[in-house]
């Protein structure tokens, strides 16, 4: 194992260390936390790109072959220990979250990071949770990283405080706490049914389960997918999203654009890992499509109805989430690559839109009375918790941009084109690729439904954005141009230029994503890589082959393990003490009862 093999864990360790360090530096070193945060985020970007490069197979970009890198934590064998798995899909998602976070962070450095406490540590912990969720190889750690991500996002959603944020934040926290509990139910049901929490292990055992355990497994899967769909904001489960995203501070809302995609990622991952033979069909089923269509409709209507730009942007995030759910529900290989292209485009565009909205609405906001926001009780309590509402001070950071309305207008136009899926930008290519793949895959009936949904939602998006654009840029001729600095325009331009680059290089990008989809659709490479992950040190006792430890054979297998354990038990090494539980106990819920 060379140093470069440890790169896999760095997307988790680096933000953890940077977050902890910036807590220590807070208040001691001027600009300390901001510097640490920026360096760590840039480092993550570099690492994500290196990792994406290293997962490529020996062939061309479009080659489905992939190098799956497995990182055994503490060098436990993969069937017992915790593993991180990096394949092309997770590497792509890591690169996307790193790119978005650089944009959001640079934007926040102009003034938003001073609006409350601990912005920088929370930002790093959010990144840690997101990266961990993309990398983890088992269900329970998926829960843990979801919690890390959500706990940081609770803090960030309230960043800057204020009545609206606290109210929306409270709803957001309550809904997501319940969703986490549902995720726990799902994880424990899966464990009860299959006797494992590892995704690769589960994918291998699922087809071999008997009827009783299968029912349990499918219930567990249903609970898991409900939890993922809350994160992905499917229609009845995603009503928390518009309020939470539209009240959050702009760079934070931009960062949140990746969080709905974490839910979509989990659905994709489980759906394809369990896609073999008799595996349950709970992650890509008919109802997922219905839910996705409902989400599109709800998001489009909401965008039409909303007056403020951030609120419209939040609803547009729901539209993109619904589109993704609809598309992945069909479960066709070419659709997955188109969906991933759409995912990347819509995430970057949503991030840019949240930032632009704040820039363009900046001095419109100041006309609103701010004083009524705080009740009488507010002041002492808020000071006690460090929650007082800091209106950002208008001190100069960087140089104001000339012709600011023109710059903002061009950015807004680009966002509109991307969101509505109009040519020439990558939003159009994404929707075109989706529709083409739909019609080529032969699901004619569903293809027409999806076509109608995409066209109508694109039309609604265009109408909503046009109306907002007219209000922002044309309604008030005497309006003084907002004070905007280069440091705020640059990240928005960076995100939009990424979309332009995706448009210009659509061929290679689609080829790469096709390779990602092929890697995803051949779960055997993932499963084999996790099973055969080499350990640094030779094990003292070789665990028996996994295939023999299925649920039905639980009772028969127990004696098989005993000889393997016996020499280990006398050895002092702790490494040999663990390998018992998952093998012997799956039958416990069924057989092991009290008298």
Partner 1 sequence: MEIVIAIAIGILTASGIWLILRPRSFQVIIGLSLLSYAINLFIFSMGGIKVGSPPLLDPSQTDLTIYADPVPQALVLTAIVIGFATTALFLVVLLASRGLTGGDHVDGREDR
Chain residues that interact with partner 1, rule: CB under 8 A: 140, 144, 147, 150-151, 154-155, 158, 161-163, 166-167, 169-171, 173-174, 177-178, 180-181, 184-185, 187-189, 191-192, 197, 373-378, 381-382, 385, 387, 558, 561-562, 565-566, 569-570, 577, 580-585, 588-589, 591-594
Cβ nearer to partner 1, comparing 67 with 185:
185
Cβ nearer to partner 1, comparing 190 with 353:
190
Q: How far is the CB of 191 from partner 1 (least distance, A)?
A: 6
Q: How far is the CB of 166 from partner 1 (least distance, A)?
A: 5
Q: How far is the CB of 207 from partner 1 (least distance, A)?
A: 21
Q: How far is the CB of 377 from partner 1 (least distance, A)?
A: 5
Task: Kindly report whether the peptide bond that precedes residue 396 is cis, defined as omega within 30 degrees of 0.
Answer: no
HEC sequence for 246-295: HHCCHHHHHHHHHHHHHHHHHHHHHHHHCCCCCCCCCCCCHHHHHHHHHH
H or E segment and range at residue 185: helix 163-194
Cβ nearer to partner 1, comparing 94 with 568:
568
Q: How far is the CB of 482 from partner 1 (least distance, A)?
A: 28
Q: How far is the CB of 317 from partner 1 (least distance, A)?
A: 23
Cβ nearer to partner 1, comparing 290 with 585:
585
Cβ nearer to partner 1, comparing 174 with 406:
174
Burial 187-202, CB ≥16 within 10 A → b, else e: bebbbbbbbbbbbbbb
| Beta carbons of 107 and 492 less than 8 angstroms apart | yes
Compute the half-sphere exposure of residue 593: CA atoms within 13 Å on the CB side of its CA: 3
Long-range pairs for 234-239: beta carbons < 8 A, 24 or more residues apart: 234/288, 234/291, 234/292, 234/294, 234/295, 234/321, 234/322, 234/325, 235/291, 235/294, 235/295, 235/297, 235/298, 235/322, 236/291, 236/294, 237/179, 238/295, 238/318, 238/321
Q: How far is the CB of 559 from partner 1 (least distance, A)?
A: 8
Query: How far, in Å, CA of 71 to CA of 5, rounded?
Result: 8
Cβ nearer to partner 1, comparing 49 with 154:
154
Query: How far, in Å, CA of 304 to CA of 325, rounded?
Result: 21
Cβ nearer to partner 1, comparing 164 with 456:
164
Q: How far is the CB of 174 from partner 1 (least distance, A)?
A: 6
**Of 510, 522, 526, 498, residue with least CA distance to 61:** 510
Phi, psi of 198 (to 5 degrees): -70, 135
Cβ nearer to partner 1, comparing 197 with 249:
197
């Amino acid at each position: 194992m060379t140093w470069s093999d440890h790169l896999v864990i760095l997307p988790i360790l680096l933000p953890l260390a940077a977050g902890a360090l910036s807590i220590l530096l807070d208040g001691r070193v001027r600009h300390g936390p901001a510097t640490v945060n920026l360096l760590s985020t840039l480092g993550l970007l570099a690492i994500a790109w290196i990792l994406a490069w290293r997962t490529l197979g020996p062939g061309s970009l479009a080659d489905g072959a992939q190098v799956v890198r497995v990182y055994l934590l503490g060098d436990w064998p993969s069937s017992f220990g915790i593993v991180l798995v990096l394949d092309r899909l997770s590497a792509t998602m890591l690169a996307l979250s790193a790119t978005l976070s650089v944009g959001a962070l640079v934007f926040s450095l102009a003034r938003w990071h001073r609006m409350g406490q601990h912005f920088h540590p929370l930002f790093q912990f959010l990144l840690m949770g997101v990266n961990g969720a993309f990398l983890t190889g088992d269900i329970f750690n998926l829960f843990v990283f979801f919690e890390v991500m959500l706990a940081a996002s609770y803090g960030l959603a309230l960043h800057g405080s204020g009545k609206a944020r606290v109210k929306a934040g409270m709803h957001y926290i309550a809904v997501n706490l319940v969703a986490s509990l549902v995720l726990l139910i799902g994880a424990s049901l899966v464990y009860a049914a299959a006797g494992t929490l590892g995704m690769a292990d589960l994918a291998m055992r699922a087809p071999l389960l008997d009827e009783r355990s299968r029912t349990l497994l499918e219930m567990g899967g249903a609970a898991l997918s409900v939890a993922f769909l809350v994160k992905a904001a499917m229609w009845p489960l995603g009503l928390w999203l518009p309020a939470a995203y539209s009240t959050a501070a702009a760079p934070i809302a931009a960062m949140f654009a990746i969080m709905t995609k974490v839910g979509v990622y989990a659905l994709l991952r489980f759906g394809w890992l369990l896609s073999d033979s008799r595996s349950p069909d709970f992650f890509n089923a008919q109802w997922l499509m219905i839910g996705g269509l409902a989400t599109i409709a709800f998001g489009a209507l909401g965008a039409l109805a909303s007056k403020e730009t951030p609120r419209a942007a939040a609803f547009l995030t729901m539209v993109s989430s619904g589109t993704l759910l609809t598309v992945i529900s069909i479960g066709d290989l070419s659709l997955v690559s188109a969906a991933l292209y759409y995912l990347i485009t819509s995430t970057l565009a949503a991030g840019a839109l949240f930032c632009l909205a704040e820039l363009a609405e900046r001095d419109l906001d100041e006309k609103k009375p701010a004083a009524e926001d705080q009740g009488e009780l507010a002041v002492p309590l808020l000071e006690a918790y460090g929650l007082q509402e800091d209106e950002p001070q208008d001190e100069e950071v960087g140089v104001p941009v000339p012709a600011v309305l023109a710059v903002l207008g061009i950015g807004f136009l680009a966002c509109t084109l991307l969101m509505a899926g109009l040519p020439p930008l990558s939003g159009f290519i994404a929707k075109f690729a989706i529709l083409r793949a739909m019609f080529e895959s032969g699901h004619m009936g569903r293809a027409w439904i999806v076509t109608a949904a995409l066209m109508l939602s694109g039309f609604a998006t265009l109408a909503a954005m046009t109306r907002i654009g007219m209000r922002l840029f044309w309604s008030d001729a005497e309006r003084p141009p907002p004070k905007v600095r280069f440091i705020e325009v640059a990240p928005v331009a960076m995100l939009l230029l990424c979309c332009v680059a995706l448009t210009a290089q659509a061929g290679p990008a689609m080829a790469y994503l096709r390779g990602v989809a092929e890697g995803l659709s051949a779960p055997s490479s993932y499963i084999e890589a996790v099973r055969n992950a080499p350990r640094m040190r030779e094990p003292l006792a070789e665990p028996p082959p996994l295939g023999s430890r299925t649920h039905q054979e639980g009772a028969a297998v127990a004696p098989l393990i005993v000889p393997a354990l016996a020499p280990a038990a006398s050895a002092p090494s702790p490494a040999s003490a663990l390998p018992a539980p998952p093998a012997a106990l799956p039958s416990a819920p069924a057989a092991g009862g009290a008298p």
